[in-house]
């Protein structure tokens, strides 16, 4: 039987307010996107990195790959961050499953190898470009459901 992990993402943080990211254990997504001031909505263009940390706010704000993240964005695009709380060993497993399924361009580890037990992922909330449900089995993704649209209403955190 596969290990089940549920993640609930709560909004997006734009680069200029990334210091407000939660200072707690979890995984985070780094996206390239556009923010529409008029409608207060986020349009995500691509997932560029997935990470995990004991303190996500601290990790993101001093991350060694920050300049690479910026370099992956188009001229008019901005960085956006999403966060889901996760504790213990599920944190690395959840991150690895998403990297394996999505293959973000600035992640290397876990793109080609999933060294954990079979894992079922359920992703809810402001999920951005992620699929809502998938399973990683024997080093390959075997099931995908509908992708959420990149454009979602969000109050900027």
Domains of the chain, each with CATH number or no CATH: 3-153 (3.40.1440.10)
For residue 33, the cross-strand partners are 44, 78
Q: CB-based burial of residue 123 (10 Å sphere; 0-12 exposed, 13-18 middle, 19+ buried)?
A: buried
**What pTM, to 2 d.p., does this model score?**
0.84
Nearest to 103 by CA among 136, 65, 80: 136
CB-CB contact of 22 with 85 (8 Å) = yes
Nearest to 79 by CA among 54, 98, 104: 104
| pLDDT grade for 138, boundaries at 50, 70 and 90 | low
What pLDDT score was predicted for residue 145? 54
CA distances to 22, 39, 55, 151, 152 from 11, rounded to whole Å, are: 12, 15, 18, 12, 9
| pLDDT grade for 40, boundaries at 50, 70 and 90 | confident
For residues 82-111, give the mean pLDDT. Answer: 94
Q: What is the DSSP letter of 54?
A: S
Give CA–CA dist 68/14, Å, rounded: 17
Lowest-pLDDT range of 22-26, 33-37, 79-83, 148-152: 148-152
């Amino acid at each position: 039987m596969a290990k089940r992990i549920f993640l609930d993402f709560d909004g997006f943080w734009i680069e200029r307010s990334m210091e407000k990211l939660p200072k707690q254990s979890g995984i985070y997504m780094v996206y390239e996107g556009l923010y529409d001031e008029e409608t207060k909505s986020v349009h995500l263009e691509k997932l560029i990195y997935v990470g995990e940390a004991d303190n996500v706010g601290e990790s993101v704000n001093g991350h060694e790959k920050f300049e690479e993240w910026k370099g992956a964005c188009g001229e008019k695009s901005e960085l956006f961050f999403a966060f889901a709380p996760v504790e213990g060993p599920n944190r690395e497993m959840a991150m690895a499953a998403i990297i394996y399924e999505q293959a973000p361009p600035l992640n290397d580890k876990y793109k080609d190898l999933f060294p954990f037990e079979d894992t079922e992922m359920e992703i809810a909330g402001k999920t951005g470009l992620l699929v809502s449900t998938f399973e990683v089995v024997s080093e390959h993704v075997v099931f995908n459901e509908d992708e959420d649209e990149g454009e979602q209403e969000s109050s900027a955190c």
